[in-house]
Structure 1
Amino acid sequence: MIHTYKLLTALALCALILTNCSQPQATSQAVEAPHQQEQVWPALQKEHRPWTRWWWMGSAVDEQNISRLLEAYASVGLGGVEIAPIYGAKGYESRYIDFLSPEWMHMLDFTVKKAGESGMGVDMTQGTGWPYGGPQVTPAYAASKLLVQTYTLKGGQQLQEELEVQDPKQGDLEPALLALTAYSDEGKILNLLDKVNAEGKLNWRPAAGDWTIYAAFNGKTRQKVKRAAPGGVGYTLDHLSGDAADVYFARFQKAFNGDKHGVRAFYNDSYEVYGADWSADFFNEFETRRGYDLRRYLRELLSEEASETVARLKADYRQTMSEMLLENFTRRWSGWAHGQGSITKNQAHGSPGNLLDLYAAVDIPEVETFGSSYFPIPGLRRDSADIRNVDPDPIMLKFGSSAAHVTGKKLTSCETFTWLGEHFKTSFSQMKPEVEQVFLAGVNHVFYHGVTYSPEDVPWPGWLFYASLNLTPANSLWPHFSGINNYIARCQSILQTGKSDNEVLVYWPVHDVWNDAEGRLRMLTVHGIDKWLHPTPFYEQVKQLTGQGYSLDFVSDALLSGAKGQGGRISTSPAAAPYQVLVIPQTDFMPPATLEHALRLAREGATVVLEELPSDVPGLSQLEPKKEKLQQLTRSLQFTDRGDGIKQAATGKGQVLLAKDVQRALAFANIHREALTDTGLKFIRRQTEGGKYYYLVNHTAKAIDQVIPLNMKASSVTIMDPQSTQAGLAAFTTGHDRTQVRVQLQPGEALILWASTNAKAPVATAWAYLEKAGAPIAVQGEWTLRFTEGGPELPAAQKLTELVSWTALPDPKATAFSGSGAYTVTFELPSRKAAEYVLDLGQVHESARVWVNGQEVGLLWGIPFRARIGAHLKPGRNTLKIEVANLMANRIRDMDRKGISWRNYHEINFVNINYKPFDASGWQPMPSGLLGPVTITPHSTTAGLGRNL
């Protein structure tokens, strides 16, 4: 690698000399010429841009403010809004509009029309607040829970009391008696339901023995819609009931009256239907699906005994619930939406179902980030007092993107930045690596969480949602919001191009999750991954493979059943990119049909890697025949020892490999990792007919300047900078079906490599690599600071010989100020001897827009706050102007210290990150402005060769 690097550098220097050093130099922040953008970057569509959830508080909206806000959103680069009606602000009740009323539908139509005029799209949640529910959900269709009461009888006794639910909270809901099962001390089991008369009396007495009677009722959770808007209050829906779903959609059918109304997608938030472990027809559904009567196992269903029978029974129960949710709600919902000419966008997590199947059943799977991640990027603020104790997990995010990739769907969306930090303290620098981690997990359609509709006449800070990022026009960062939005748009324009390029398909053993005697309802939540995901061999295997540079997706039993072996690869959908190998990690329970599908793929020419042979089957239904079938399948594999811990069984056109070390097995099968991860870089790939895109991110604490290998042979490699749109041909070599390319990334930076297999390069400009650095030039002198916009009042202009936080200035107005201030300084550059000059702003709180000699360099909104400015400098006197925007925090702190009322909402009102009443009066002022030190560093450069060596 060292010799290759020296060769590249030497040849690049020769190329630079041949071009007489007159070639245009790529600058990291300048705006690229339009012709080059057209050649390299896709034309931006609305789906490329970030969208945002748009809370309508009380649905108190009007045409004038809808127009004003949509124009503002479009101006900063948002691509669409997702309407989510919620509770309202107090004092504005006269403006409230009932959900789905004719007036509400008019506002929806107006929103769609105005959004379209601004090139934006509109989604809407199919309800108010969350989860689905409302006034159309009568108790018969409300979320249900199993209620069981027990009674004891001895021989000759008769039960005197009526069989009715004793819980007083259930009285008005008339819970129906669904089963009555008697167990004797001698092991007899009797169904007594037909012996109950119309008055609820049991007409039965045992002849002898001691009996325990279990009475099962279809109770109700009594949960109502959380954060409901006017016209949306009511019980939460029974998602397991097809009849309940039909009743729920009928209200929308009537309101929409057969018209799409321009809604792109209907949206369903994370499940959050608490305690809903039952449905009126569950017993019948269970018997149809599992093949035996659950009524005979009521005792075991309620048991906490850590026995095999109890665990298997509960696995069957959980699988049945999963299938009911999938078929009775999710698929039914998608079918309804398609009938309206719209699509569906669903957050499956939090539900008791198989996440992969639920995500796959909709048009756009949506995942969610909650809390903040740790990144070792120098200077990145992460105050433990201002974060949740939940770290987003990229492997959890991959459940949604895997479902999209396996089924060939174009988009995977993500509710992004939910509780990333405490209110008013979140910076673009903190958002950048978090959204990049989302991209690396396969997401390519970001939704902010979010912005709140607020009328113009509401005093600052306007209406705000209690769990929001609150990037509204009232936010002091708003003038620089386009910086991160345009970055996300450029990244997503690439990540939506072509198809995903993941070589490994990993089976998810959901039956291992379900086979647990503890509890009954198993909710697969984002907050519970420490229990249901992290301890599993599946998680450990996926973590190791991704860490070593393998690209992968997850597959469920059902999705695997439809896969085909074609040309030595695995095709999961005509619209999906094929996979090179199926990996089955260690699993305790596997349905025989799943192993049968895996072996069929091998016979059709695929490679299947088993970490170990599955030895057991899930559930109680036909247990022994299924075990025998599984054993027959494993016995059919005739393995040959291939050494190095690998056993091989040839079958049909393909092979099955058995190895505890999965990575050795992959190498044996000639499936190679991307060794570029050894540098610390993270990546994701996309494939097109003309080559592959590599999206690279440096989330390490070190600068990376080296040659990295790509697992493909390219005819040219173009470096694309999504921060600035700059692009240029890279220095690279090829050989042995590999490409070596030189990259430079500071901590916190990202690049896109377009590794083209076409003979013609997409651009003519060579990428300028920064080489030897000269001594940094400190930008010193007298700075003029003028506050340009914000409040509560503009502080007085300042003359500074030392850069300090606004909060340290002698003007008390500056401590409370949230907004923008412009710094101006002049400095001398005696001569222009270097090929490039790099401006480094040092500490910035929180975002900067830079001009050099009156020419705009661009927005520096995230770490590192650096830009190449050589094209703008001149010998002699130069002027540097830096506009800095700070956070809202100091102004909010000032209002709370003065007792100024700004939050007054129904229901939850406004809470802090720990869901306690919000109060910023005790905060310390947040650092604000330009702290520096500001330096300019001269560099020599070499040019990317732009050709194969």
Structure 2
Amino acid sequence: MKLLKYTLLASSLFLSGMNHWASAEELKDMKRLFVSPPESARPGVYWYFMDGNLSKEGMTKDLESMKRVGIGSVVFLEVNVGIPRGHVDFLSTEWKDCFKHAVRECERLGITMILGIGPGWTGSGGPWVKGEESMRHLVSSVTRVTGGSKQTIPLEKPSPKPPYFGEGAFTPELKEKWLDYYEDVAVLAFPATNGKVSIKDIEEKALYYRAPYSSAPGVKQFIQREEQDKPLEPGDAIAVDQIIDLTSLLRDGSVTWNVPSGEWMIMRFGIRNNGAVTRPAPLPGVGFECDKTDTTALMAHLRTFTGSLFDLLGERDTTLAGGLKILHMDSWEMGAQNWSPRLREEFKKRRGYDPQPYFPVYAGLVVGDKNISERFLWDLRQTMQELMLENHSLFVKAYARQHGMQLSIEPYDMNPMQDLELGASADIPMCEFWSPGGYNTSFSAIEGSSLANIKGQRVVPSEAFTAAGDGWRQHPASMKNQTDWAFAAGINRLTYHTFQHQALPDSLRPGMTMGPYGVHWDRNQTWWPYVDAYHTYVARCQYLLQKGQTVADILYLAPEEAPFVFRAPKSALTGDYMVDKREYNFDACPPSLLYTAFVEDGKIKFPSGMEYRLLVLPAFKTMTLDLLKKIESLVKDGAVVIGLPPVQTPGLTGYPDSDRNLQQAVENLWGGSQQPEGLKFHTYGKGRIAWGTDIQNHLDNLYPDFDLTSKVLREMHVPVDFQSDQGTVRYIHKQVDNVDYFFVSNRVDKEMSVNAHFRTSGKQPYLWDPVTGKTSLIPVSTDNGKQTSLELAFAPYQSYFVFFSGDRQSASAASTNIKGKRVLMSLQGSWNVSFDPKWGGPAEVEFPTLQDWSKHTEPGIKYYSGTAIYTKQFDYKETLSGSLFLDLGLVKNIAKVWLNGQDLGTIWTSPWQVDVSGVLKQGKNELKIEVTNLWGNRLIGDEQKVNDGIVNGQWPEWLLKGEKRPSDRYTFTTYPHYTKDTPLLESGLLGPVHIIQVLD
């Protein structure tokens, strides 16, 4: 049961950190807080600093601009990506003064700061990390000798493995440290093998390398073990009992040994740095990544980095809403290590045998046979996972707690552990998703939200809209569909990637970038003054999604594998890049968390209160006896399980008796080892287990096809959780006490009406619109006692919440949201338009009709980026009764409307309408519309002009000297996203603009 050691540590906060369900009084407040969301519901940003380009003045402007538009948190990271170095060296006195200023400003403004635990985004390390404190590999050299005499044999010093990212990441000093560091570990001799048999994919199996799963082609979700397909010939493998330990004979790189007769191989084993460096760190922060299995090495790092910052800040008032609150480990991009300072002792303690005779397996040599060697490699990976969890992530979590903080982790990419296990060790598991066209990391949303659900962590943050080559092209409307996808996937705190710290003068816009990366979520965006309308939408959604407990029926158990990336069955999802769950929601569970589960009323429950109807096992050949016994106890207590039995244990611990014990447990639980035809249920205790050839014949990403799983749920009389008749609506189901509510979203860019079915009954449905903040009663189509059906209408990409609460009210009190509309007036003719001359536009111009700026003959309009003000007077003669709206038609890209001097708000998404009831007058009306486009056109226009910007990675002299810039460009940016030939972007108010009446 040593497996449980870190399990219990990881789950110790379930009850103490669990958010309670809303009380009756809190439920009364939900509508009020939906309209005006609390600060805790606000989205965040990655606040990136670029290698010494820091400014206190810029920090204050950044943070104050965030506060104005509803940003509630920042992830503070300094990196070095495609920007010339600045003058404030990382961790210098001036740098620390800037950092302290940023923390104090966050405290003043009520903004939460989240601090990465090292320079760059990779992990934890720096130039202060010594070779013996770094991530290390066990490496080896081989010397062949002929026996029959006493010999002094020189043994070659093993070379380091090439760094995964190459030697280009090293500074000259760091490369020298990398080459110099070496420590001997062991010398082993054995009769020479014939060299014909080696272990496939050994460098991954032995944790030398783990490539980024999301971005490198061909990276495996998990490591397939190689089976022994035929008997070995003499000389194919090393017999354990023939290995001789010569370690004590090693002197100055040689051994003097009376070599027995025959051909022998001598392997010299030593440890080398694995080549992982802080990346992409500011130059003064480039150094080795610290050992992820050694608390001594980790504390040496933390004392130098976070410890020095804590000392700088002094005693902090933890009751403040803002300030430094969370430590953060970003995506795991430092690769793998396979050595720990006490590996041999820890291995013996955890696995029950000495690993040293199996060291040749690290090099791909077969010890015993392939099955034995693969079992050893599994034991090695499990041991390293346990050490990394206990001595790195859980240690940092405890360290954070000592300082009144929490720990968030993005547990994926190059992770040599199981993603779910690393995420489970965090206070706050975090995920990531890229903008369309980027890497598909949608799997991490399922991993992160699953862990949060199981652990009772109501907040599920995500690095959001990560992008490459975006070029300021995205804006709230273009991001609406993916925003809603994230919410339905379980994410409920968007952290935009990235708000680039703007250290340059305000006149130089768009200003600083993170090279080609990021969605440019910063104060220099053209539409930044209007973005709070979108942030308010986000905060309303996030408030409700953080408030309730998620409803899910299916729990997919991950196998005991490291590394392992959880991928849901494709059949359980719809879509491609933005994958949505089907009619039964599900989560993924790491093996460690299953040990905390119990059964109540036939449901699998966790201390957090989360519960599931069905446990689904992976179709995996191996399982430890401990895990199988846990599953057996759940079934005995009443759980329903679907899955095939394992056939063997994975490691060498207790082998071969462990396999016989496992088979006996399988016989008991499954009622035999022979698969039945089709899909059959076996009763065991109070529960049942479903298995058979249907599963074997219909596997999907290790699990039964979703239709098979759904079949079991239907057999259990569990109605589908949500379904729409056109299948174009995504959802997530939440509960607070006896209130059910669903977030539903149109997945397509067109209007539609659907009949939607919700798993709830006998309650009154309400529609809560997070764009407007308005709520309304809606009528029930049918209620069969298990499901409520409603007719719903959606605008393109529209979304809202459907609440089911309280007793059903009379039909007359409710009104369907499927409404007709009638055009009462079209605003045709000319418009007065005012552009900002500071950005090259005419101060006043008349448009005879609405038109695309980029098609205009006037260069100042054609290449204009920013805000233009449209004004128009019109006489209105139609009725003023009913619900009246101003419909703007097509807008590129965001608009703010005034009618008769009254601010009617910002319009940023479909339907592009604003309510004018009570404001519109019969007779003369005055309309003003501020319309803002994107940066692209002005940047393209400036590419026609002389370049006076960054050349060869150097800041221009005029900027360094504070002189007037030599060119007549309007814009300045640190990365060229456009050329002079890039097609211009459609811009402006394109209409048609109508006054419409919505018909009940």
TM exceeds 0.5? yes
State the partner residue of 1:17: none
**Number of matched pairs:** 860
Deviation at 1:919, TM superposition (A): 5.2
Q: CA RMSD in A?
A: 3.5
Amino acid at match of 2:386: E
Amino acid at match of 1:113: R
Matched-pair contact (CA < 8 Å) for 2:880–2:922: no
Amino acid at match of 1:577: M
Matched-pair contact (CA < 8 Å) for 2:635–2:686: yes
Deviation at 1:760, TM superposition (A): 9.2
Matched-pair contact (CA < 8 Å) for 2:35–2:773: no
Matched-pair contact (CA < 8 Å) for 1:87–1:905: no
Give the secondary-structure state (helix, strand or coil) at the position aligned to 2:531.
helix
- Is residue 2:806 matched to residue 1:806? no
Matched-pair contact (CA < 8 Å) for 1:717–1:755: yes
Spell out the pairing of 1:28-177 with structure 2 (5 A cutoff): 39=32, 41=34, 44-58=37-51, 60-87=53-80, 93-94=86-87, 96=88, 98-99=90-91, 104-131=95-122, 132-156=124-148, 158=151, 160-166=153-159, 172-177=179-184
- Is residue 2:740 matched to residue 1:692? yes
Give the secondary-structure state (helix, strand or coil) at the position aligned to 1:47.
helix
Distance in 1 (CA, whole Å) between partners of 2:801 and 2:308 is: 48
Matched-pair contact (CA < 8 Å) for 1:829–1:874: yes
Equivalent in 851, 858, 882 of residue 898 of structure 2: 851
Matched-pair contact (CA < 8 Å) for 1:409–1:576: no
**Structure 2 vs 1, CA of residues 462 and 634 (structure 1 numbering), >3 Å: closer, same or farther?**
same
Equivalent in 822, 828, 834 of residue 869 of structure 2: 822
**Structure 2 vs 1, CA of residues 908 and 698 (structure 1 numbering), >3 Å: closer, same or farther?**
farther
Deviation at 1:336, TM superposition (A): 0.4
State the partner residue of 1:382: none
Q: In the TM superposition, what whole-angstrom CA distance separates every residue of 1:361-398 from its partner, at most 9, and x where no partner exists?
A: 111111111341xxxxxxxxxxxxxx43x2342x3311
State the partner residue of 1:30: none
**Structure 2 vs 1, CA of residues 501 and 547 (structure 1 numbering), >3 Å: closer, same or farther?**
closer
State the partner residue of 1:196: 249
Equivalent in 831, 841, 844 of residue 794 of structure 1: 841
**Structure 2 vs 1, CA of residues 568 and 871 (structure 1 numbering), >3 Å: closer, same or farther?**
farther
Distance in 2 (CA, whole Å) between partners of 1:542 and 1:197 is: 58
Distance in 2 (CA, whole Å) between partners of 1:304 and 1:436 is: 51
**Runs of 5+ consecutive residues of structure 2 not aligned to the other structure:** 1-27, 161-174, 193-234, 318-322, 696-707, 957-973
Distance in 1 (CA, whole Å) between partners of 2:998 and 2:550 is: 38
Deviation at 1:190, TM superposition (A): 1.8
Distance in 1 (CA, whole Å) between partners of 2:184 and 2:573 is: 47
Amino acid at match of 1:330: S
Matched-pair contact (CA < 8 Å) for 1:549–1:674: yes
State the partner residue of 1:3: none
State the partner residue of 1:780: 828
State the partner residue of 1:738: 787
Q: In the TM superposition, what whole-angstrom CA distance separates every residue of 1:878-918 from its partner, at most 9, and x where no partner exists?
A: 44433211111222233344243445797999xxxxx9985
The two structures have a TM-score, normalised by structure 1, of: 0.83
Give the secondary-structure state (helix, strand or coil) at the position aligned to 2:407.
strand
Distance in 1 (CA, whole Å) between partners of 2:913 and 2:652 is: 62
Equivalent in 550, 560, 563 of residue 594 of structure 2: 560
Distance in 1 (CA, whole Å) between partners of 2:126 and 2:924 is: 68
**Structure 2 vs 1, CA of residues 179 and 630 (structure 1 numbering), >3 Å: closer, same or farther?**
same
State the partner residue of 2:292: 239
Amino acid at match of 1:145: H
State the partner residue of 2:511: 462
Equivalent in 330, 340, 355 of residue 393 of structure 2: 330
State the partner residue of 1:362: 426
Equivalent in 383, 394, 400 of residue 320 of structure 1: 383
Deviation at 1:597, TM superposition (A): 1.1
Matched-pair contact (CA < 8 Å) for 1:152–1:213: yes
**Structure 2 vs 1, CA of residues 161 and 486 (structure 1 numbering), >3 Å: closer, same or farther?**
same
Deviation at 1:533, TM superposition (A): 5.5
Matched-pair contact (CA < 8 Å) for 1:728–1:764: no
Matched-pair contact (CA < 8 Å) for 2:885–2:913: yes
Equivalent in 657, 662, 665 of residue 690 of structure 2: 657
**Structure 2 vs 1, CA of residues 277 and 678 (structure 1 numbering), >3 Å: closer, same or farther?**
farther
Spell out the pairing of 1:624-643 with structure 2 (5 A cutoff): 624-637=656-669
Deviation at 1:332, TM superposition (A): 0.4
State the partner residue of 2:411: 348
**Structure 2 vs 1, CA of residues 743 and 596 (structure 1 numbering), >3 Å: closer, same or farther?**
same
State the partner residue of 1:543: 573
Equivalent in 258, 266, 272 of residue 213 of structure 1: 266
Amino acid at match of 1:599: E
Deviation at 1:87, TM superposition (A): 4.0
Amino acid at match of 1:112: V
Deviation at 1:499, TM superposition (A): 1.9
Distance in 2 (CA, whole Å) between partners of 1:899 and 1:615 is: 70
Distance in 2 (CA, whole Å) between partners of 1:503 and 1:147 is: 47
The two structures have a TM-score, normalised by structure 2, of: 0.79
State the partner residue of 1:576: 609
Matched-pair contact (CA < 8 Å) for 2:347–2:353: yes
Give the secondary-structure state (helix, strand or coil) at the position aligned to 1:204.
strand
Spell out the pairing of 1:466-481 with structure 2 (5 A cutoff): 466=515, 467-481=517-531
- Is residue 2:470 matched to residue 1:422? yes
Q: In the TM superposition, what whole-angstrom CA distance separates every residue of 1:630-653 from its partner, at most 9, and x where no partner exists?
A: 222221136699999542333333
Amino acid at match of 1:473: R
Amino acid at match of 2:710: Q
State the partner residue of 1:600: 633
- Is residue 2:191 matched to residue 1:184? yes
Matched-pair contact (CA < 8 Å) for 2:54–2:86: no
State the partner residue of 2:553: 503
Amino acid at match of 1:343: Q
**Structure 2 vs 1, CA of residues 638 and 146 (structure 1 numbering), >3 Å: closer, same or farther?**
closer
**Structure 2 vs 1, CA of residues 201 and 666 (structure 1 numbering), >3 Å: closer, same or farther?**
same
Distance in 1 (CA, whole Å) between partners of 2:869 and 2:104 is: 38
Distance in 2 (CA, whole Å) between partners of 1:687 and 1:614 is: 36
Q: In the TM superposition, what whole-angstrom CA distance separates every residue of 1:164-199 from its partner, at most 9, and x where no partner exists?
A: 234696775331122323231454442434243341
State the partner residue of 1:944: none
Equivalent in 930, 952, 955 of residue 883 of structure 1: 930
Distance in 2 (CA, whole Å) between partners of 1:584 and 1:905 is: 55
Give the secondary-structure state (helix, strand or coil) at the position aligned to 1:736.
coil
Amino acid at match of 1:126: I
Equivalent in 934, 938, 941 of residue 894 of structure 1: 941
**Structure 2 vs 1, CA of residues 723 and 761 (structure 1 numbering), >3 Å: closer, same or farther?**
farther
Distance in 2 (CA, whole Å) between partners of 1:929 and 1:760 is: 46
Distance in 1 (CA, whole Å) between partners of 2:463 and 2:185 is: 40
